[in-house]
Amino acid sequence: MEAMVDEIQRKLAESNDIHTLADIYKDDVNIAVWKRDLSSGLRDSIASLLDQAEFIRVEDDVTPENVKDRLNLKLDHYENVAPLVDDLSHVVDMFCCLFEQTRVGLRLTKLDRAMCPRFHTDKVPCRLVTTYQGLATEWLKHDDVDRSKLGAGNNGLSDSESGIYSSRQDIRSLTVGDIALLKGDKWIGNEGAGLVHRSPNVGVNEKRLLLTLDFIG
């Protein structure tokens, strides 16, 4: 494996307690995961939306104060979306509070294929990801990655052939409902150590609903 960029080992912080998300501020953490179970009402709302909508791609700059109105405007022609809109609003409010942001970039997408199928890092400070239905984001521990194989370093080979990881068992996965903060390469002090992750393969007739939140500016 390639030598690390510095002396700090990056690791996972994971808990059923929402407060674990604040661990993303620790220098040695590059992924923080709040493990949560979705309520039956929320699961029903998600399934209903995916059944009704052949295509979903909501992209907007939102604030905690206007996110519910903005989402209702874009989704109000679908039935039973209120539980999902309520949860999305809660996640936006939490993200803004944690990072002292007044507004964020929101993207809610129904996927029938892998959006980012190759292992990569994000050129952002930090990104929130959560999968509401379907297979969730795959990722690699910091010390399981050969970063020389990222991007053009793969020499045109697939992830399974390039040597970016040693064994299939190195690949970790989030689960439905998890709220994950992925520290990127532009987080101060984390240059060259962003979390390596990718989208999962989506099978035929599988329905995946993904939310991402990003800093603006």
> For 123, which DSSP code?
S
- pTM value? 0.92
**41 occurs within a structural domain:** yes
Q: Cα–Cα distance between 165 and 168 in angstroms, integer?
A: 8
* Residues facing residue 44 across a β-bridge: none
Structure-derived torsion over alpha carbons of residues 113, 87, 137, 10, reported in degrees to the nearest 10: 150
**1 occurs within a structural domain:** no
Q: Cα–Cα distance between 19 and 35 in angstroms, integer?
A: 11
**142 occurs within a structural domain:** yes
Q: Cα–Cα distance between 35 and 53 in angstroms, integer?
A: 27
CATH number at residue 171: 2.60.120
More confident residue, 28 or 5: 28
Q: Cα–Cα distance between 74 and 53 in angstroms, integer?
A: 12
For residue 137, the SS3 value is: coil
* Strand pairing report for 171-173 and 11-15: unpaired
> What pLDDT, on a 0 to 100 scale, did the predictor assign at position 1?
40
Owning domain of residue 170? 15-214
Q: Cα–Cα distance between 134 and 193 in angstroms, integer?
A: 28
**8 occurs within a structural domain:** no
- Structural domain tally of the chain? 1
* Residues facing residue 213 across a β-bridge: 106, 128
pLDDT tens for residues 123-181?
Answer: 999 999 999 999 999 999 999 998 998 888 888 888 888 889 899 999 999 999 999 99
> What pLDDT, on a 0 to 100 scale, did the predictor assign at position 129?
98
Q: What are phi and psi of 73, to 5 degrees?
A: -65, -40
184 and 127 in contact (C-beta within 8 Å)? yes
* Strand pairing report for 104-111 and 57-62: antiparallel
Question: Number of C-alpha atoms within 13 angstroms, CB side, residue 145?
Answer: 27
**166 occurs within a structural domain:** yes
Structure-derived torsion over alpha carbons of residues 143, 147, 149, 153, reported in degrees to the nearest 10: -170
Helices marked H in 21-173 — which ranges? 40-52, 67-75, 82-99, 159-162
**38 occurs within a structural domain:** yes
> What pLDDT, on a 0 to 100 scale, did the predictor assign at position 207?
85
**149 occurs within a structural domain:** yes
pLDDT tens for residues 73-132?
Answer: 999 889 999 999 999 999 999 999 999 999 999 999 998 765 667 899 999 999 999 999
**6 occurs within a structural domain:** no
